[in-house]
A = this chain, B = another copy of it.
Amino acid sequence: MSYRPSLTVESCNKNVLRAKYAVRGAVPQRAYELESKLRAGEKLPFSEVIYCNIGNPQQLNQHPITFFRQVMSLAMNPDLLENPKTVELFPQDAIERARDIVRRTPGGLGAYSHSMGLEFIREDVAAFLNDRDGHPADKNTIFLTNGASPGVQTILQCLIRDHNDGIMIPIPQYPLYSGTIDLLGGSILPYHLTEETGWQLEMTRLVEALADARSKGLTPRALCVINPGNPTGSCLSEESMLEVMRFCKREHIFLLADEVYQTNIYQLAKPFVSFRKVLLDNPELEGLELASFHSCSKGFLGECGIRGGYFQLENVDASIRAELYKLASLFLCPNLVGQVMVDLMVKPPRGTPSAEHYEQEKRAILDSLQRRARKLSQCLNRLQGVSCQVVEGAMYAFPKITIPQRACEEAKRRGQSPDLFYCMSMIDEAGICVVPGSGFGQVDGTFHYRTTILPPEDKFDIVMERMTAFHNSFLARYQ
């Protein structure tokens, strides 16, 4: 008789089974398969798969910031700092910055650091926050992390005791939130953003969601806001932020501010303002607990693979900061390269020879993202049955698509939701990988998908053409 495994889906932690993460779900799996086929020489209706499922700029040929990589390259190999020939390959200010980093990093990049991250980097983050918000920050409220996601998990781990504890999240949302809440055994408390007004956050929706949760005996412990929005591409007004924070204070709720897209702003009416600034500008909000998240993966850096990020706490009880430190210690420390990338992000070159090139690279990437954001929403809005809100910030569009009745029936036959069927058809026919709206949440009976704005400009028109041709042929088939 063959051995029966002890660990199967039947005997697995049910919270693990419950958690979902669509950004790497069925459609990307299909994309990988098709890419393998292309590599194996198989003939498909397209010559290349284009990944618009994930905010991964360097995968789509965005060049990293030159100065940052020069410094990292030197800090990784400090023997170079002793070599007189190094000046022929690296600019002097990169050498000096690397020397400074190595000097201030006990044991270098190969040693575990303090579990919250290197002290000098937390000081540099604090200085950045002071510059940005006009309010000093305490380095002991800053935790460096492997990208933003583990920080979100760590804080939710403290907040969620059991399924009676709920976390309010926007719908649509980035599925890190729903996935982590499920994994930790908490309850998801959805509040809907209003698509018609550009995915704005309306207070009535928060009030309803809260009342609904309490009527079910659930305890809302925290409210999560993503600004600029993922997947919506919308930006919050300062007035709206103030209302949200008043709500949190009144209802005794912890605020989680996902601000990883803070430099991805493509309009002038709503410049980025941090929740931290609004909190500290308004004495009426005194005491409100806030955790803000930032990352090297987005903005104009796009250093996703490096896994660098941080979170910062305001008004969080010292005893909880001690618990967060203990949890960080259990996993020793965030990776040192990610920590140094955070340092470069918050303290870029200024007034040194590399500063000008840095500013040029930064501007070129952000301007290009702005052009692509506009082009994408314009293109989508020209399609029959498709409407797309203005992409004000972040890296995504979340268009609404009307799916013909006969296509819905075909989807049902295949055991797929209509939006999944649409996205599966798009990858199969056009080689473009996007994520169905169901992975982010949407009003019942409506369908969306999320696409990034990241294909490079020299391919952008081709992507738009392929999306358009696919959409028209899909409609022609099922209308």
Q: Measuring CB to CB, which residues of chain A are less than 8 angstroms from any residue of chain B?
A: 2-9, 11-14, 16-17, 19-21, 23-24, 54, 56-61, 64, 66, 69-70, 72-74, 76-77, 79-80, 83, 85-86, 88-89, 106-113, 115, 146-147, 149-150, 153, 157-161, 175-176, 179-180, 183, 221, 249, 252-254, 286-289, 297, 302-307, 315-317, 319-320, 323, 326-327, 329-338
Q: Is there an interface contact between B77 and A70, defined as CB atoms closer than 8 Å? A: yes
Q: Is there an interface contact between A72 and B66, defined as CB atoms closer than 8 Å? A: no
Number of copies: 2
Partner of A317 from the list B8, B59, B336 (CB cut-off 8 Å) is B8
Q: Is there an interface contact between B6 and A252, defined as CB atoms closer than 8 Å? A: yes
Closest Cβ–Cβ distance, residue A329 to chain B (whole Å): 4
Which residues of chain B come closer than 8 Å to A59, judged between CB atoms?
Answer: 106-107, 111-112
Partner of A335 from the list B69, B73, B149, B338 (CB cut-off 8 Å) is B338
Which residues of chain B come closer than 8 Å to A306, judged between CB atoms?
Answer: 109-110, 335-337
Which residues of chain B come closer than 8 Å to A305, judged between CB atoms?
Answer: 107-113, 333, 335-336
Q: Is there an interface contact between B335 and A5, defined as CB atoms closer than 8 Å? A: no
| Known contacts A80-B89, A85-B85, A110-B304; 10 further A-B pairs (Cβ under 8 A) | A3-B287, A9-B319, A11-B161, A19-B327, A56-B111, A59-B112, A73-B77, A88-B88, A180-B330, A305-B333
Q: Is there an interface contact between B3 and A110, defined as CB atoms closer than 8 Å? A: no
Write 21 A-B pairs (CB below 8 A) sorted by A numbering. A6-B289, A7-B254, A7-B317, A8-B317, A8-B319, A9-B317, A9-B323, A12-B158, A12-B323, A13-B159, A24-B326, A54-B112, A58-B110, A73-B73, A73-B80, A76-B76, A110-B302, A146-B335, A147-B331, A149-B331, A149-B332
Which residues of chain B come closer than 8 Å to A113, judged between CB atoms?
Answer: 305
Most chain B Cβ neighbours within 10 Å, of A23, A80, A158? A158
Partner of A323 from the list B16, B252, B316, B323 (CB cut-off 8 Å) is B16
Q: Is there an interface contact between B287 and A161, defined as CB atoms closer than 8 Å? A: no
